[in-house]
A = this chain, B = another copy of it.
Amino acid sequence: MERRRIAGLYVIVDPDACGAMDPVEVARAALQGGARVLQWRDKRRDKGDQLDDVRAIAAICRERAAAFIVNDHADLALASDADGVHVGQHDLPVDAVRRIVGGLIVGVSTNDADEARRAEAAGADYVAVGAIFRTRSKDVTRPASLERLRDVRAAVRVPVVAIGGIDASNITDVVAAGADAAAVIGAVCGAAAPARAASELAAAFG
């Protein structure tokens, strides 16, 4: 299987952020709008109860040759034939995840150049860095900045995903700072027209 690239608009689909909209429909709209990576994140439901949604989104990502990443759960990623798994600093460590998922993509949340270097050395295929801007979807306990993003970009060779408060007003700034991808949640999932919102954001990648 060819590995999907982590680049361009990266949309995190979290049912909690989708409001009344079906998360599978939000995922479809995000891809129609030009998202190149989708991440599934559901901190609430048991994994078996998520599985239908996750498999449906995996299938539409395959149709569009977009990368599909599952947050936190390597087992759910394997069960849904996802392209990869994304872990934070409190999830299973990269080396443990690597042994479980083999050649799948493993992404890691980091906060600065040191964490990013450690993640890359441990085998991460990409690093996320944030929160670059203020965000409503998560309590920001560890703020980052555009300068931090530049530091991380200079520190590692793997793709760098900027995350945290990114929207149409600032996405060009993170692209200019060297982000390979920009991850958004509310700017697409919380939009009245997710496909159009994604399209506006994806335009930043030219």
List chain A positions with a Cβ less than 8 A from chain B: 45-49, 51, 72-76, 78-79, 87-93, 96-97, 99-100
Chain B residue at minimal CB-CB distance from A79: B96
Complex: A72 Cα to B48 Cα, angstroms:
10
Cβ-defined contact, A75 with B48, below 8 A: no
Contacts of A74 in B (CB 8 A): 75
Chain B residue at minimal CB-CB distance from A95: B79
Complex: A100 Cα to B79 Cα, angstroms:
8
Complex: A72 Cα to B50 Cα, angstroms:
14
Q: How many copies of this chain sit in the oligomeric assembly?
A: 2
Complex: A127 Cα to B96 Cα, angstroms:
28
Complex: A203 Cα to B102 Cα, angstroms:
44
Closest 9 pairs between A and B when the two form their complex, measured CB to CB: A46-B90, A74-B75, A79-B96, A75-B75, A48-B90, A48-B91, A47-B92, A78-B100, A49-B90
Chain B residue at minimal CB-CB distance from A97: B75
Known: A47-B72, A73-B73. A78 touches B99 (CB 8 A): yes
Chain B residue at minimal CB-CB distance from A77: B75
Contacts of A87 in B (CB 8 A): 48
Chain B residue at minimal CB-CB distance from A49: B90
Complex: A87 Cα to B47 Cα, angstroms:
10
Cβ-defined contact, A75 with B88, below 8 A: no
Cβ-defined contact, B79 with A92, below 8 A: yes
Chain B residue at minimal CB-CB distance from A78: B100
Cβ-defined contact, B79 with A47, below 8 A: no
Nearest CB of chain B from residue A78's CB, rounded to whole Å? 5
Cβ-defined contact, A75 with B46, below 8 A: no
